[in-house]
Amino acid sequence: MTNPVVLLALTLFTFSVKAQSIKTDTNQVRPYGNVDTSELNLKSCGFEKDANAMVLFDKADIKINWDGAVSFMRHKRIKIFNTNGKDNANIDLSYFDKITDLVAETVNLTGGKIEYTQVDPQLIYKQKVNKEIKNLTFAFPDVRAGSVIEIQYTWKLKSLLSIPPWFFQSDIPVRYSKVNVEMDNTYKIKLETVVNQFFAEDTVFSINHDSGTKAILILKNIHSFVKEPHMTPEFVNLQRVSFKSKINWWERANISLVVNMFFGGQLDFPLKNEKAIIKKADSIKNNDDKIDSIFTLVKDSMRFNGINHLYVDDPAQDAWNNRKGSSTEINMILCRLLKSAGIEAYPMLISTPDYGVADPTAESLFEFNKCVVMVSLDTTHYYTLDASNKHNVYNRIPLELLNTAGFIVMYKKNYGIVYLRDSKPSQQLVSVKADILADGKLNGTVEVTSNDYNRDADMKNYHRLGKKDYIKSLTGGNNALKISALTIDNMETDSLPLTQHFNFSLDLPSSDGNYIYFTPYMFKLDPNPFLSEKRFSDIDFTYNNTYTITGTYTIPKGYKIESLPQNQLLTLADKSMSVKRVFEASNDVIQLHYIISRKKLFYHKEEYKSLHDFYKKMYEMLNEQIVLKKS
């Protein structure tokens, strides 16, 4: 993606134009049910040839009334080019309040005749996710290569507190995207756009009327959004327009949450055996120890039911009595007990990775789907606690929330957005001891010690994959590498490093009777994520890290060292990343030492060239071979 006009990004447009300048979009947006044969005969996207599907148009008419209610009418039409594009025919909508007047159809051209197949209303499934959010799912029928599918509905929102941004961009190319906004002046709404291409010539940023304001924003030929390794949150990169109130929106959101019986009201009711718990906590003089004690009690007592909802489904008291609840119910219990023990604790809204990273600029509760707890230590320091995960610790931001944003709900005035960041480097040490055998094999043992977020990442992978597949992941896809006898220490003691021990054997395929070749680096480090020559998004490494590899290799009798990689230090120009390599050899033993250090979390996409070149050189270093020769 290019950026022809820098001022188009994060810019508020407020100038007025005459209504007569508006052009019609008859050739771009045909009424529902009026599909043209040219759309059905279309074979590919003109500006993205390899696309499996394309949004022909996506149009929204949004009306914001004087009472804050919002009417959001949407009409979207998609062309399916091949069978790989059929996934776009599966619809999954999450929404607040109410969706009405939904119609959907598949259109095909068969023997020169246009055939319309309506979605059966009986096959449109609506499910209440929680007190506020609902879900709607269905699949378009008779979808095949060449089909056109379209959907139209009206989304009625009771409040501006839940209106989401309009995304011009998608994971498939978009030929035409239009949002038409009519706003009553009562709420003084402003539109904030993030785009990196010119708006279409019939865009109208603002038309002022006595009763309100109208705006029409149009983008054409929008390339699909490409997900990249170590990408910053998707919403940061997608082209969009957000709706911002000039009044204090977060104040309104804070008040609504504080008084909501399914949220802030949960903190008003005592829990069973609360007095005994607080009496025990009061005997602990150190605040950190007190926080840890209450956090550990709730975490160990409660069983997470797998549900992440912004509001409680059942009273927190009932969840405590049943020892089971949603993440918000568990963390409301934690917040209640901490506050009762004199700890300055507050609920904090966050978004889980599967829901999508919250956009703190969107000014919408729709961005969040879970509650955790923020403990204020002083004016600049705080803890983020989530007792719904057994492997979280009280004084470290949960791994899944790093570099995201949360909304603190307070009874005082210090409510608002907080960014969850931790620049402290984590540590990981891989220690290898191995014998090189004359028949071209390598046998040895490995110890991996993981601290802080490296520990969290390894634990998460182990529980996600299971032991068998986790062992397979350690080989990095190398079928010649066999791992056995894996043991893991300190899995249940979160405050201690995770220590993994295992045996390994490796066939060295490039060895022959006179020479043995092998690469001493073989465990834990992922493949190079920066192979692409171009980068479209900024880079987010989640957490800083120091990765150390040590190795001791015994040379077989009758062999000597023919070639040994040179000692080397590689650094980025800004010194934020470095790789140090040291080799030593004495008698029949080779010792190596690698230190890979990263001290910076974020890199702008403009810095990608230097990062790409650094990683290329680093992996060349890691893949350099030791050569032994038969003496």
CA 73, distance to chain mean position in Å, is 28
Q: What is the pLDDT of residue 97?
A: 87
In a domain, 446, yes or no: yes
pLDDT at 475: 85
- Residue 460 resides in a domain: yes
Q: Can you list the alpha helix ranges (DSSP code H) found in 225-315?
A: 234-237, 249-259, 274-282, 287-301
pLDDT band at 11 (very low <50, low <70, confident <90, very high): very low
Distance separating alpha carbons of residues 540 and 538, to the nearest angstrom: 7
Is residue 358 domain-resident?
yes
Question: Do 283 and 156 fall within a single domain?
Answer: no
Query: What confidence score (pLDDT) does residue 359 get?
Result: 76
Do residues 412 and 437 share a domain? no
Percentage of the residues of the chain whose pLDDT score is greater than 90: 65
Residues 397 and 482 reside in one and the same domain: no
Do 55 and 82 lie in one domain? The reply is: yes
Looking at 245, 278, 305, the residue that finishes a domain is 245
Q: Is the distance from CB of 425 to CB of 541 less than 8 angstroms?
A: no
Residue-wise pLDDT tens digits, 257-272:
999 999 999 999 999 9
Give the chain's radius of gyration (CA, Å).
29
d(CA 430, CA 446): 7
Q: Is 619 helix (H, G, I), strand (E, B) or coil?
A: helix
Q: What's the CATH code of the domain at 76?
A: 2.60.40.3140
Co-location of 202 and 330 in the same domain:
no
- pLDDT for 512 equals 77
The better pLDDT of the pair 381, 89 is held by 89
Report which of residues 235 and 352 the model is more confident about: 352
Q: Quickly tell me which residue has 């549900």 as its tokens.
A: 307
Dihedral (CA of 395, 400, 405, 411) sign: negative
Helix 327-340 and helix 287-301: axis angle, to 10°?
A: 150
State which H helix or E strand residue 412 sits in.
none
Last residue of a domain, one of 374, 397, 420: 420
Q: What is the mean pLDDT of residues 389-394?
A: 91
Q: Strand pairing of 568-571 and 166-167? A: unpaired
pLDDT at 2: 32
What tokens appear for 156 in the block? 């009625």
Would the pLDDT of 18 be above 50? no
**What is the number of other CB atoms lying within 10 angstroms of the CB of residue 408?**
19
The average pLDDT across 485-506 equals: 93
What is the dihedral sign for C-alpha 481, 486, 489, 490?
positive
Residue 443's pLDDT is what?
94
Distance between CA 593 and CA 331 in Å, rounded? 44
For position 15, what pLDDT does the model report? 34
Mean pLDDT on 331-335: 97
DSSP line for 11-49: EE------GGGPPP-TTT-PPTT---HHHHH--S-TT-T
Q: Enter the pTM of the model.
A: 0.80
**In terms of domains, do 414 and 442 share one?**
no
Residue 273 confidence (pLDDT) above 60: yes
Q: Per DSSP, what are the bridge partners of residue 435?
A: 443, 554
| Total of domains in the chain | 3
Q: Which of 67-71, 304-308, 329-333, 531-535 has the lowest mean pLDDT?
A: 67-71
467 located within any domain: yes
Question: Which residue would you say has higher pLDDT here, 101 or 232?
Answer: 101
**Torsions phi, psi of 427, nearest 5?**
-125, 145
182-204 mean pLDDT? 85
- By percentage, how much of the chain surpasses pLDDT 70? 94
Per-residue pLDDT tens digits for 543-591: 999 999 999 999 999 999 999 999 999 999 999 999 999 999 988 999 9
Tens-digit pLDDT profile for residues 274-312: 999 999 999 999 999 999 999 999 999 999 999 998 899
- Contact in structure between 334 and 374 (CB atoms under 8 Å): no
* pLDDT tier at 138, thresholds 50, 70, 90: very high
Token readout for 363 is: 């000014």
> What is the residue range of 131's domain?
6-245
Could you report the per-residue pLDDT of 342-355, keeping only the tens digit for each? 999 999 999 888 77
CATH number, domain of 548, equals 2.60.120.1130
| pLDDT at residue 365 is higher than 70 | yes
Q: Which residues pair with 445 in a beta bridge?
A: 433, 503
Element (H, E) at 612: helix 608-622
Count of beta carbons in the 10 Å neighbourhood of residue 11: 15
Tens digits of residue pLDDT in 39-84 = 999 999 999 999 999 999 999 999 988 887 889 999 999 999 999 9
Lookup: tokens for 631: 């003496």
- Answer yes or no: do 367 and 507 share one domain: no
How many Cα atoms occupy the beta-carbon half-sphere of 486 within 13 Å? 17
| pLDDT value of position 423 | 86
Nearest CA to 562 among 618, 518, 496, 615?
Answer: 518
CA-based nearest residue to 576, from 548, 610, 533, 620: 610
* Same domain membership, residue 205 and residue 175: yes
Q: Is residue 374 one of the residues assigned to a domain?
A: yes
Residue 514's pLDDT is: 87
Give the pLDDT score at 10.
Answer: 36
Q: Is the pLDDT of residue 363 over 80?
A: no
Same structural domain, 392 and 430: no
Residues forming a β-bridge with 547? 428, 596
Among 229, 245, 261, identify where a domain stops. Answer: 245
374 and 411 housed in the same domain? yes
pLDDT band at 13 (very low <50, low <70, confident <90, very high): very low
> What confidence score (pLDDT) does residue 467 get?
93
Instruction: Give yes or no: residues 283 and 208 share one domain.
Output: no
The answer to the question of residue 309 being in a domain is yes
pLDDT confidence bin for 246, thresholds 50/70/90: low
- For CA atoms 238, 61, 364, 320, give the dihedral sign: negative
Give yes or no: residues 201 and 143 share one domain. Answer: yes
Asked if 454 contacts 427 with a C-beta cutoff of 8 angstroms, the reply is yes
Pairing mode of beta strands 174-184, 53-64: parallel
pLDDT at 27: 63
Flag whether 1 is in a domain: no
131 pLDDT higher than 90: no
Quote the mean pLDDT of the chain.
Answer: 89
pLDDT digits (tens, 9 = 90+) for 599-624: 999 999 999 999 999 999 999 999 89
Q: H/E/C letters for each residue in 318-363?
A: HHHHHCEECHHHHHHHHHHHHHHCCCCEEEEEECCCCCCCCCCCCC
